[in-house]
Amino acid sequence: DRLPELVRALPKAELHMHIEGSLEPELIFALAQRNKVEIPYADVETLRHAYAFTNLQSFLDIYYAGASVLITEQDFYDMAWAYLKRAQADNVVHTEMFFDPQTHTARGVPVKTVIDGLHRACVDAGRQLGVSASLILCFLRHLSEEDAFATLEEALPHRDKFIGVGLDSSEVGHPPEKFARVFARCRELGLHLVAHAGEEGPPAYVWSALDVLKVERVDHGVQSSKDPALMQRLAEERIPLTVCPLSNLKLCVFPDLAAHNIKSLLDAGLVATINSDDPAYFGGYMNENWVQTFAATGLDARHAWQLAANSFEASFIEPPQKQAYM
Ligand code: ADE
Ligand code: ZN
């Protein structure tokens, strides 16, 4: 069976990866030591053992704790560089990386430190790894819209170092409508717009991400399959879904990988993509997500080509470069 080989070798774009979710336990401990930050786990093994999640919130609690070791610009650079080298190994030739500034500003780390470190890694990845990399600033939806506006304000002097904004963190109870005004402002500023919707939340959140926030693509979106009218809209308007199968498995969105709906999304004509979300926490980077999903759900070589083409179509790469990839 040569399908895994083909899948691994395909050039692809990764569009849904939280850079703080690429922080491996080994790097968490190294940075904790370097910065003299206390973490409530004895060692790497104990920390890895805590990675048993029952839902999104049980993951987010540990994910935010892990990010507390990030203090200096070099820390952000080192984290991003480790991911970018790992992405290159999986034949990811383009990546759009999410970052969560509020996780750091809440601890007194300036937005400038976060963005400068991440952006320097993106520039070096283009030059030294042949991986094009850009940044998407995410607002934490469990915080207020006022807090999101303050974060945007602090980030705007660095407008040239990120291409868009997104919306992440605890979904249920924090619908897209809560961020209508700040997304409208970002739209005026010419930023690309995305949002997590339909991960654990209902199809109604996907509708409002589209109609209220006016996002260009939907992160996760797997709950859309519960709403035939929504499926039709996504297919007709070619609105991409950035699906993350191993994340969905580890956060119990689906009971097992064989039950994942990626194949039916693709076969319904949706521009679905496969991504890693938080690879250090969910047991796999890009190729691990692809290979395990192909094996479990019966995707074939045509699906592989479709998924790779979708990843470039769904990307914010500017034409004519974009067409060259597709
Ligand atoms: N932040 C990091 N990963 C996330 C996910 N899968 N959903 C919502 N917020 C996140
Ligand atoms: Zn995500």
Q: How far is the CA of 136 from the centre of ligand 2 (A)?
A: 12
- Burial (Cβ within 10 Å: 0-12, 13-18, ≥19) of residue 266: buried
Q: How far is CA 199 from the centre of its chain?
A: 12
- Residues measured by CB to lie within 5 Å of ligand 2, the ion: 277
Q: How far is the CA of 57 from the centre of ligand 1 (A)?
A: 9
The tokens describing 273, both together, are: 């993509």
Supply the ipTM of this predicted assembly.
0.98
pLDDT digits (tens, 9 = 90+) for 286-301: 999 999 999 999 999 9
Which one is catalytic: 199, 216, 313, 318?
199
pLDDT digits (tens, 9 = 90+) for 157-202: 999 999 999 999 999 999 999 999 999 999 999 999 999 999 999 9
Q: How far is the CA of 18 from the centre of ligand 2 (A)?
A: 6
Q: Answer yes or no: is pLDDT of 218 > 90.
A: yes
- Tell which CATH classification among 3.40.50.150, 3.20.20.140, 1.10.260.40, 2.40.110.10 matches the domain 3-313: 3.20.20.140
pLDDT digits (tens, 9 = 90+) for 52-99: 999 999 999 999 999 999 999 999 999 999 999 999 999 999 999 999
Return the residue matching tokens 């006022």. Answer: 146
Q: Which atom of ligand 1 is nearest to the CA of 100?
A: 1
Q: What's the confidence (pLDDT) of residue 326? A: 86
pLDDT digits (tens, 9 = 90+) for 266-279: 999 999 999 999 99
Q: Answer yes or no: is pLDDT of 208 > 90.
A: yes
Residue list, annotated binding site for substrate: 278
The dihedral built from the CA positions of residue 242, 246, 251 and 256, taken in this order, carries a sign that is: positive
pLDDT digits (tens, 9 = 90+) for 72-85: 999 999 999 999 99
Q: What's the confidence (pLDDT) of residue 1? A: 86
Q: Confirm if 65 and 41 have CB atoms less than 8 A apart.
A: no
Decide: 78 in ligand 1 pocket, CB within 6 A: no
Decide: 196 in ligand 1 pocket, CB within 6 A: yes
In percent, the amount of the chain with pLDDT more than 90 equals: 98
Is residue 199 annotated as a catalytic residue, yes or no?
yes
Query: Which of 277, 283, 294, 192 is CA-nearest to residue 242?
Result: 277
Give the mutation target among 18, 20, 282 for probing the ligand 1 site: most ligand atoms within 8 A of CB: 18
Decide: 96 in ligand 1 pocket, CB within 6 A: no
Amino acid at 18: H
Whose Cα sits closest to atom 9 in ligand 1? 169
What are the residues whose beta carbons fall under 8 Å from the beta carbon of 317, sequence distance 6 or more?
13, 94, 132, 325
